[in-house]
Each structure stands twice: as C-alpha cells, then as structure tokens.
C-alpha cells in the first residue's frame, strides 16, 4: 500500500516581499547615473570602467553588470576568476579583467572564457607567456605595477626588466598598465602625488600602452590622475569617494526592516543580551527581524538608529543574530505596529553614516549586507 501524502495545506499565497523580514531595494538607474557622472568627469579621451567585484559590492553583479553594459560601459573589473566566469555569458564581448590574475593551472580557463588576466608578479607574467608560446600567438593581458601599496604588482625593477624582454612582451601583449592608489580618499595626502610620479615613471617603460591609476576616489583628485581608464567601484554604488564636501554620488540602496512585535517596557527593565540597555522611563519597543546574520553590525548596539516614517528611532540593546530593538516611545498612535517598516539605510542614514556609527566604513557595511533580505531592483532592464 502506498503511503498517503498529507493534504497540500501549505500553499504560499503571499509574494516574497510580503514574507520577507526586510527588503533591500537596489536602484539600477542610480548606478547607471553614477557611472555616467564619473565617465563624464574623467579627462577628455579617458573612460570609466566599472568594478563589479564582490558581486558588485554585494548588490548583485548579475543584475548590475548587464545594466551598465546596456548603458555603454564596455570594460569591467572583477577580483577572481570565478567572478569573471560567471559574468562572461552576461556581458558578451566586453572586456572583463580579473584583478587577482591567473593561478597555476587556471590559465586555460582565462583563455577559454576570453578574460583579461591582470599580471601582478613575474611568476604570473611567465605563466601567461608560456601559455602564449604554447598556443603560438600573443595573448592580451593587463600589467599591474606597484607604486606604493606593497600588495600586488611588479616592483619598478621588475617592470624595467620586463620592458627589456621583447619576447615576453610580445607574448603577453599588454592592453593596459595599471596601478592602485593607497590614500586617494584623503585628497591632501602626500602619497597621492608620490604614486602619480611613480606611475608616470612605470608607464614610460611601456610607451603606447594605455594606463589606469585611479579607482573611485582617485577620479576626484583631478585630471593628472585619470590616465586613460579609471576604475570606479564604490562610488558607483553611492558611497562617498573622499573626505571633501557633500557626497556627489546618487544613493543606490535602501534597507527597510519589518517590525515583528511592539511591546511596553517599564522603567528599570533591560533590553537584549548582556542587559546593556536599561529603560529610564516607561516606553515602547519595536523588535525588528534583522541582525548581524544580515550584516547589521554588532557594534551598532546602543548607537545605531532607524527611521519610522519621519521619526528617528534609536537602536537599544545589543544587535543579536536575527533581532534588533528600537525605542519607539512617544511616536504618533498607530505608527509603530507589527508589519510596519523601519528604515535602516536610506536618506537619513546613508551607508557612510551607518559605517561611521559602527566604527568602520561604508564599504564594509555595503559588502556585508546578507542574503536573507528580499532584493528588489528598480530601473534598468527591470523596470
């Protein structure tokens, strides 16, 4: 006798946004506007690429990169081979450069997918040269020269030696010479000028090959730093590019979290793990279904905030894995209720504001946003 199946009483009638404890809204049109703004800002003859590494800083490269391609961007940078392989079917023949370069045994994957390896060391140069020799043809690449970061890149002496090696240069056929600025977010830092001088010296070793020095912040240092290609990343996603004046970038993300419960609290009662917040009066609390498993940093305990409508509400107690509590005392009747949304990232609490409150930077807040949020894309091809 076949087992009887239980009746199908679990049909889901609601859509994902209604079920979600929080909604992360990502504005593709704002990202496109930011790229166009940056592309227009660079020097005449230079262009802005798009850095979509880290899954477009956590916001979804599969949606964002094709939207930028449709807007006119034709060069992209990722961090890893797997990121490049995932994007190749979505980006047609656009250039995709992989910043980490090829690891031994993986160089064939670059070639088959038509990815540009960024060659960061003489070992990687030799690996790519040997593949070119085996294939009997030149294979394009990007050369990375270190001008002061001391992370990846050829030292000047290594670049000088490579420039004199005609056979290797012909094999690896560089289409770009790049470096990376260490302190560009601080416009007055003397290292910006030092690296510019070092980059010019390195580029002189490779005449006729386009150059790329600046990422988001470097674009705002001025035309001297623009070279032929700039590589904006964080600024595309609305993050502040430097420490000068108001943020010129259009906000891209909004995070709203649903209230699970509203409760009264008496004076003297405590909130959350460790009893780090004690009420000094009678009031009301709203518990929201997000926590550090969603990228809401634990350091925001007792110092973060949100907005319920136009009302700023303080985060009280510790941030736990799945829950956080806001003080909603004194708000208009009916505003704080189960199912209502508290805004955690938005107009009054930008990514950079939240990063500062958490003791970090907006980059880390952005890239930490978890995968439990319901993601809603606006604009681009999604509109």
- Can you give the pTM of this predicted structure? 0.93
**pLDDT confidence bin for 157, thresholds 50/70/90:** very high
**In this predicted structure, what is the pLDDT of residue 14?**
55
| Digit-coded pLDDT (tens) for 320-330 | 999 999 999 99
Which tops the pLDDT comparison, 2 or 58?
Answer: 58
Mean pLDDT of the chain: 94
Q: Where residue 9 falls among pLDDT bands split at 50, 70, 90?
A: very low
Q: Is the pLDDT of residue 132 over 90?
A: yes
pLDDT at 4 over 70: no
User: Is the pLDDT reported for residue 269 higher than 50?
Assistant: yes
In this model, does residue 13 exceed pLDDT 70? Answer: no
pLDDT at 288: 97
Residue of 53, 237, 363, 373 marked active site: 53
Q: Alpha-carbon Rg of the chain, whole angstroms?
A: 25
Among candidate residues 57, 273, 363, 373, the one labeled active-site is: 273
CA torsion 155-160-166-172 (nearest 10°) is 20
Q: What is the pLDDT of residues 170-194, one digit of tens each?
A: 999 999 999 999 999 999 999 999 9
The answer to whether residue 29 scores a pLDDT higher than 50 is yes
Question: Is 337 in the active site?
Answer: no
| 273 part of the active site | yes
Please give the share of the chain, as a percent, with pLDDT higher than 70: 96
| Cβ contacts of 84-92, under 8 Å, gap ≥ 24 | 84/110, 84/113, 84/115, 85/109, 85/113, 85/115, 86/61, 86/62, 87/52, 87/61, 87/62, 88/113, 88/114, 88/115, 90/62, 90/65, 90/66, 91/65, 91/66
């Amino acid at each position: 006798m076949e087992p009887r199946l239980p009746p199908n009483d679990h049909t889901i009638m609601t859509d994902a946004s209604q079920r979600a404890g929080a909604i992360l809204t990502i504005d593709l049109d704002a990202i496109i506007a930011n790229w166009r703004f940056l592309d227009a800002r660079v020097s005449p003859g230079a262009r802005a690429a798009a850095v979509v590494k880290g899954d477009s800083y956590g916001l979804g490269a599969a949606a964002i990169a094709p939207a930028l391609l449709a807007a006119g961007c034709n060069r992209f940078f990722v961090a890893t081979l797997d990121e490049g392989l995932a994007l190749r079917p979505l980006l047609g023949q656009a250039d995709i450069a992989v910043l980490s370069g090829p690891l031994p045994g993986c160089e064939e994957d670059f070639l088959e997918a038509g990815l540009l390896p960024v060659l960061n060391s003489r070992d990687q140069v030799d690996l790519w040269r040997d593949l070119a020799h085996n294939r009997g043809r030149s294979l394009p690449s990007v050369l990375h020269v270190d001008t002061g970061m001391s992370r990846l890149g050829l030292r000047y002496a290594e670049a000088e030696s490579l420039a004199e090696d005609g056979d290797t240069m012909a094999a690896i056929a560089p289409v770009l010479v790049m470096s990376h600025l260490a302190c560009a977010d601080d416009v007055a830092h003397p290292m910006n000028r030092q690296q510019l001088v070092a980059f010019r010296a390195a580029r002189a070793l490779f005449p006729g090959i386009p150059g790329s020095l600046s990422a988001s912040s470097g674009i705002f240092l001025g035309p001297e730093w623009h070279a032929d290609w700039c590589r904006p990343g964080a600024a595309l996603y609305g993050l502040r590019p430097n420490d000068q004046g108001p943020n010129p970038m259009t906000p891209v993300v909004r995070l709203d979290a649903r209230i699970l419960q509203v409760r009264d609290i008496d004076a003297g009662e405590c909130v959350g793990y460790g009893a780090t917040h004690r009420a000094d009066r009678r009031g009301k609390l709203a518990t929201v279904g997000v926590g550090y498993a969603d990228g809401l940093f634990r350091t925001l305990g007792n110092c973060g905030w949100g907005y319920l409508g136009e009302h700023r509400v303080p985060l009280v107690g510790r941030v736990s894995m799945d829950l956080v509590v806001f003080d909603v005392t004194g708000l208009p009747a009916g505003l704080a209720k189960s199912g209502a949304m508290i805004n955690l990232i938005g107009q009054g609490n930008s990514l950079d504001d939240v990063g500062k409150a958490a003791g970090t930077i907006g980059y880390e807040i952005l890239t930490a946003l978890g995968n439990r949020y319901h993601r809603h894309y606006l604009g681009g091809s999604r509109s």
